[in-house]
Structure 1
Amino acid sequence: MATGRGAARRAGKAIAALALAAGCWAAAPRADEAGNPLIPGYFADPSIVRHAGEWFVFATIDPWGGDTLGLWRSRDLRHWTFSTPNWPTKAAATSPTSGKSKVWAPSVVRGRDGRYWMYVSVGNEIWVGTAPHPAGPWRDANGGKPLVPADYRPGLHMIDAEAFVDDDGQAYLYWGSGLNWVNGHCFVVRLRPDMVTFDGEPRDVTPAHYFEAPFMLKRNGRYFLTYSWGNTTTDTYQVRYAVGDSPLGPFTEPEDAPILSTDRARGVISPGHHAVFRAGEQDLILYHRQALPFVAGGPVRRQIAVDRLEVDGDRLARVVPTRAGPPIAGAAPRRAPGRRASLRASAAEPGHDAAAAGDDDYATTWRAPAGAWLQADLGAVAAVGESLILPATPATPLRFTMSTSQDGRRWRQVAAPHAATGSPIRLRAPGAARYVRLDFPEGADVVEWRFAR
C-alpha cells in the first residue's frame, strides 16, 4: 500500500474530494489514525460476539440486504476475513407470510446451553437459528417457520430482533419497526430455556422516539433499552435510549436528546442500528453510518464503525463519533503496513480517485465504470509477490484480469480473466515487474489494494 509523502499527498487529495462531495469533513487523519470504518466494505446492522479469542461480526450486506448475511472474523480487530454463513438464506428462510425483503439485521448471542443463537430478519419476519460455533454450521431452530411472522401485528414491521441474556441466564427477545419511517413499535418477550418458545405474551414497551433496532444493555442493575429513530436513507437516523428497572419495562427516556447522531463536521451521516460490547473494562458501540460522499436518495451504502460508550449511573453519555476509532483492549494498534506503491487508474467516479485504494482508509474507495483499470507502480523492478484486494462488495463476484510490466509499455498477462468473491482476495504475480495492472471489464469498487512487503 502507498506510504511516504507522495502517498500522503494523494490520500489528502482523495479525502479533499470526499469533503467537497459530502459538503463537510474534518481534517484528514494520518493513515495510521483512520481506524473508522472498522471493517472494509458496505455493511450495516452489526452484531458482534467473541469466541476463543476471535471476534465475529455478523452484518447486513448493503444495499438493503442480500441472499445471505455477511460474516467478518478477526483476532485483532484490525485485519478481517469475510465469508457468508450457511444459514439463513433467502431461499431457505421463507414461508407463506414472507415478503420480498432480503436477509438483514442479525442478532447473535450465546445461550446458557453454550450454543449460539441467531435472530434474523428475512422477508420482513423473524427467524431463529442455532450453531455450536459462531462460524457455524448454522441450522434453522424452529421447524422451518418464522418465529415472528410478518402478519403478527398488521401495519408494523416484524423485523430487527435483538436477543438479550440477563445475568441469571434468562433470555429476552426485542423487536419491531414501523412503516414508511414512522410509527415504530418495540415488543419484548421472555424466552424459555430452548431459546425459541415464548414464555408469556409479548409486551409493547415502545418508548418515546423509538423507530427500530432495539438493543438491551444492563449496567449497575439498570436496564438501558437503546434504539434507532429517524430515517437511515437521509441524515436523520440516530441512536437514543430509555431506562427501566426490568428487562420487560416500562422504559422512560431521561431526556429528549440522541446519544449518537449526524455530525457532518466529522463526516458522520445517519449513525444507528448498533450493538454494544465490552473489551477490557470499556463499553464500545458498534454501529453503521453512511458511506461518503453521501447523496440523499442515492444508493444505500453504509459502513461499520466503533466508538466509546460511557455509562454514568442511569445515564448514557453522548457518543463522540471519531475517524481514528478508540483504543480497544486486545486490538492491534494499527493495521500492518504494506509495500510502497503508487496507484493510478484509467477512470474514477467523483470522490473515488485511484489513491483511495492505497490510503489505508476504509472510508474511501476507488470506484470506476466498466472497462476501467487500476495500476500500481512499485517504484523499481523487483519480485512482485502477493497482493490483497479488499472489495467494497465482497459478496458480489469481482471480475478482473492481472498483467505486469517492467517498463509500463509492454505488458504480460499473468492471470486469466476470472471472478472472485470474499475479502481479502489474494493475488500472486509471478516474476519481476515494476508495474501491476488490474483490468475490470464490469467496473469495480475497491477499498484497498495492498502489496505484501
Structure 2
Amino acid sequence: MKLHFFSTIPFFLLVLVAASCKDTSKTLSQVELAANKNASAIGNPILPGYYADPTIKKFGDLYYIYATTDNEMLASGAPTVWYSKDLQNWYNYTMEIPSLSSVNLRNYWAPDIIEGQDGRFYLYFGNCQAGCNIYGYVSDTPVGPWEKLNEDDTPVIAHNYPRKGFPSLDAQFFTDTDGKVYAYWGTWVHYNGGYAVGELNTDTMKDIMNPENIPLEQTPNSFEAAYMMKKGDKYILMYSGESCHDETYKVLYAYANTPYGPFTPGENNPILSTNDDQTTHGPGHHSVLEDGDDYYIVYHKHDYPMTRGGMARQVCIDDLIFENDSTIKKVVPSQKGITPIVKSEVPENIASRAAASASSSYHLNVLGESYQYKPENATDNNNATMWKAANNTFPQDLTVDLGKVTPIKRVMVQFEFASYYYQYVLEYSKDGQTWDVFADKSNNTTSGSPMIDDLEVEARYVKLTVLNTEKQGLLAAVWNIKVYRDLFEIPLQLQNKPSVEGPALHVENSMIAAIDVKNVSAENKNQFLNAGSLGGEFIATGDVSLTTDEDTKLPLNLRKVL
C-alpha cells in the first residue's frame, strides 16, 4: 500500500551550486600537468590559498605579500601576510590590526605598505563599512602589531576625495627617486571619471596633499587597481580594466614624464590578459617586484575550476620585460612561473609526486563538466590543485605512500583556508598496517599555513586524519602535504593566537524532519511522530486525506510541534 501525504506548508531545500569554466576538461589537464614541467621554476599560483590584490615587498632578506583574503563573503577574510626567504616556500600569519571604534573591522582590501624615513612600517588598506575609505596603521615591524595612525579613525584618504562621490579604494604608494611619495587610488573609475593622484606628507604619513584627477581618456578601459613605477625617466602607470569577475579582467598601462601625467596609453595594451587556453583566467590587480635590473609582475587570477563568481582568486608571478623605458612587452602568463632568483635552503620534499589515497574525494560535476579533487593533488607540488573530501562529515583521511621506509623529521600541511584552524592527527607506519602517532592536533585551535609538525621517525606511509574544522561547512581539504628527512630554518617563526571560536558542530548527515509513511495509518493520520533528528510530532490541521492510489493531488496541512 502506498500512502501519499501533501501539505500546503512549503519545504525549503539548501542547494549547493558550483560554478564551472568553459572547456573544463581541456583546461584541467593543463593546470594539473603544466605547473611543474620545469622543476627549477617557482610554480603558479605561488600561494596555497585564495588571495587577491597582492602587494609584494622585500624588507631585509625576506619577501612579503600583503593581499585581500578571498573566498569569503565580500572578500572579508582575516588580515594576513605571507612571508618567504626564497619566493618558493611561504608562511602565513594573521596580523593584529585594531578595529574601528564605530564598526567591527572586517574588510581588509587591497593593502599596501611602505617603509617610512623613520624606519617604521606604514600599512594602508581600503574598507567600505563606513564609506569607502583608506585607513592607515604603523608598526615597528612589517608584520605588526599595528597601531592606528589616527586614533579617531579619520581615514588617510576619505570617501569623496578629491571630489564628491569618489570611492577611495585600491591605494598604492610610489616613492620617487627624490624621496617624495605619491598615492594613486580609485575604483569603478569608468563610472567616476578616472583615477586620483596625490602626494603623501612624509612627516605625518597620514595626509594627502595636492590631489588631482587623472582624466579617464589617459587610462582607457580602466576599472581599478592603479600601480605606479618608474623606468628610467618615465613614470609608468599600470592599472586593471574591464570586470574583475570574468575573463575580461586585464592589466594595461600608460606613461608620462611626471607623476601627475599627462599619461599616454601604451600602444600594445593590454599587456596581461586571459590566455587562449584559459589556464590564466581574469588576471589583474597587480604589483611589481624589482630585483636589480629584472622585474616581476605579481597578480591574481581566478581559481580553477572558477568558483564564487570569480571571488576565489589566487596569486601568481611572471616575468615583466620592458622593450624600452615607455614600452612594456606583453606578459606571457604561465603555470611554471619564474626561475628562482634566490637559492632555497629548504631540502627535498620527499612526498613530491608520491602516491596518495583518501577516505573520499569531492567530485564536481556541473553542466556536463567534471573535476575531481583527487588525493594525489596533495602531493603534486601545485597550489592550483587540492585534495578535498567528498563532504563535511568527519573524520576524513589522506594517506601518502613514500615508496620505501625512510627517515622523516618534519611534516608540513597546507590546508585549504590558512586563517581557520583544522583539528587533525598525523600518523606514520612502515607497513601501512601498524600506525603510531606523529603529531596529535585533535584539540588544535590555532590556524596557520603550513601547519608544521616535527618528530624523528622512520616510515613509508604518512596518514593525515582531519577530525574537525573551525567553521561550519568547511571540508577536509589540503593544497599540499610535504614530508622532509631533515629539519630547516623557518623564517620569523610567527604563530597565530589560538581562536576562541568553534570548533564546528559535527554533521550527522541526517534529516531533521521526516515522515515515515509506513507507520502512518488511517487511525493515526492526524498526529504522528517526526522520524527526523529533531524529534517531536506532526499534527495535521484541516481536512486530511489518505489514499493508496497514485493520485498526487491530495491536500495535507501539517505543522511541526517541538
What TM-score do the two structures reach when normalised by structure 1?
Answer: 0.85
Deviation of 1:356 (Å): 1.0
Question: C-alpha separation between the residues in 1 aligned to 2:414 and 2:340?
Answer: 23
Query: Once the 2 structures are TM-superposed, how far is the Cα of residue 403 of structure 1 from its aligned partner?
Result: 3.5
Indicate the residue corresponding to 1:196 in structure 2: 206
> In 2, distance between residues paired with 1:146 and 1:80?
31
Whether the 8 Å CA contact 1:47–1:275 is kept in 2: the answer is yes
Query: How do 1:23-62 and structure 2 match up within 5 A?
Result: 25=30, 28=34, 29-30=36-37, 32=39, 33=41, 35-62=43-70
Q: Single out whichever of 74-83 and 153-162 deviates more from structure 2.
A: 153-162
Do 2:244 and 2:310's aligned partners in 1 also have CA atoms closer than 8 Å? no
Partner letter of residue 223 of structure 1?
Answer: Y
Deviations 1:269-313 (A, max 9, x none): 111110112112101111111121224x54622111111112223
User: Aligned partners of 1:25 and 1:434: how far apart in 2?
Assistant: 30
Q: Which letter does structure 2 place at the counterpart of 1:447?
A: W
2:122 alignment counterpart: 117
* Contact 2:42 2:87 survives alignment (8 Å): no
1:413-445 CA-partner distances (Å, limit 9, x unpaired): 552513341122112467555433222244223
Aligned-partner residue type, residue 220 of structure 2: A
Which deviations, in whole Å up to 9, do the C-alpha atoms of 1:353-378 show, x marking residues without a partner? 11111111222211223233211223
Provide the aligned length of Structure 1 versus Structure 2.
Answer: 428
Deviation at 1:314, TM superposition (A): 1.4
Amino acid at match of 1:119: Y
Are residues 1:160 and 2:170 paired? yes
The alpha-carbon distance between structure 1 residues 299 and 199, as it changes in their structure 2 partners (threshold 3 A), is closer
Q: How does 1:330-349 map to 2 (within 5 A)?
A: 331-332=342-343, 336-340=347-351, 341-349=354-362
Select which of 152, 155, 160 maps to 1:146: 155
**Paired residue for 2:100, among 93, 109, 117?**
93
The 8 Å contact of residues 42 and 338 in structure 2, kept in 1 or not, is answered as no
The equivalent of 1:444 in structure 2 is: 476
Give the letter for the 2:249 counterpart: Y
Judged with a 3 Å threshold, the aligned counterparts in structure 2 of structure 1 residues 101 and 80 are, in CA distance, closer, same or farther, namely closer
- Larger CA deviation: 40-49 vs 182-191: 182-191
Aligned with 1:408: secondary structure? Answer: coil
Q: Is the 8 A contact 2:381 2:480 kept in 1?
A: yes
SS at match of 2:442: strand
2:196 aligned residue: 187
* Residues in 2 aligned to 1:433 and 1:236: alpha-carbon distance in whole angstroms: 49
Kept after mapping to 1: 8 A contact 2:77/2:107: yes
Q: Deviations over 1:360-413 (max 9, x none)?
A: 122221122323321122334565532100123211112223344454345555
Q: Which residue of 2 aligns with 1:325?
A: 337
Corresponding residue for residue 397 of structure 2: 373
Does residue 409 of structure 2 align to residue 392 of structure 1?
no
Q: Match for residue 269 of structure 2?
A: 257
Aligned to 1:178: 188
Task: State the AA in 1 paired with 2:451.
Answer: I
CA deviations 1:114-156 (Å, max 9, x no partner) are 3322221123321011223312332211233222334545655
Task: State how far apart, in whole Å, the 1-side matches of 2:251 and 2:127 are.
Answer: 23
Given the two structures, how large is their TM-score scaled by the length of structure 2?
Answer: 0.70
Partners of 1:424 and 1:159 in 2: how far apart? 31
The equivalent of 2:284 in structure 1 is: 272
Equivalences for 1:215-254 in 2 at 5 Å? 215-254=227-266
Q: Give the Cα separation in 2 of the matches to 1:62 and 1:270.
A: 15
| d(CA) in 2 for partners of 1:188, 1:321 | 29
Is 1:106–1:118's contact at 8 Å kept on the other side of the alignment? yes
* In structure 1, distance between residues paired with 2:452 and 2:397: 18
Aligned partner letter, 1:226: M
| 2:110 counterpart of 1:105 | yes
1:417 aligns with 2:427: no
TM-aligned CA distance change 1:313 to 1:201, over 3 Å = closer
* Cα gap change, 1:270 to 1:163, in 2 (>3 Å): same
Are 1:36 and 1:325, in contact at CA under 8 Å, matched by a contact in 2? Answer: yes
Secondary structure (helix, strand or coil) at the match of 1:195 reads coil
Contact 1:62 1:301 in 2 (8 A): yes
* Residue in structure 1 matched with residue 293 of structure 2 by the alignment: 281
- In 2: Cα distance, 1:114 partner to 1:292 partner: 41
* CA separation of 1:335 and 1:384: change in aligned 2, threshold 3 A: closer
- SS at 1:418's partner residue? coil
The alpha carbon displacement at 1:326 in A equals 2.1
Deviation readout 1:233-285 (Å, 9 max, x if unpaired): 21111101111121112222133721100014361011111011211210111
Contact 2:194 2:213 in 1 (8 A): no
Alignment deviations for residues 210-248 of structure 1 (CA, whole Å, 9 cap, x no partner): 110110011111111111112222111110111112111
Mapped partners of 1:49, 1:355: distance in 2: 33
Return the offset for 1:168: 0.6
Counterpart residue number, 2:557: none
The answer to whether the 8 A contact 1:93-1:127 is kept is: no
Report the alpha carbon displacement of residue 22 of structure 1 after superposing the two structures with TM: 4.0
**Alignment gaps of 5+ in structure 2:** 1-22, 363-370, 469-474, 486-562
1:76 aligns with 2:86: yes
Which of residues 357, 367, 375 is equivalent to 1:354? 375
Q: Measure, in 2, the Cα distance between the counterparts of 1:377 and 1:439.
A: 15
Separation in structure 1 between the aligned mates of residue 279 and residue 437 of structure 2, nearest angstrom: 40
Match of 1:302 in 2: 313
Q: Which has the larger radius of gyration?
A: 2
Query: Counterpart of 2:137?
Result: 129
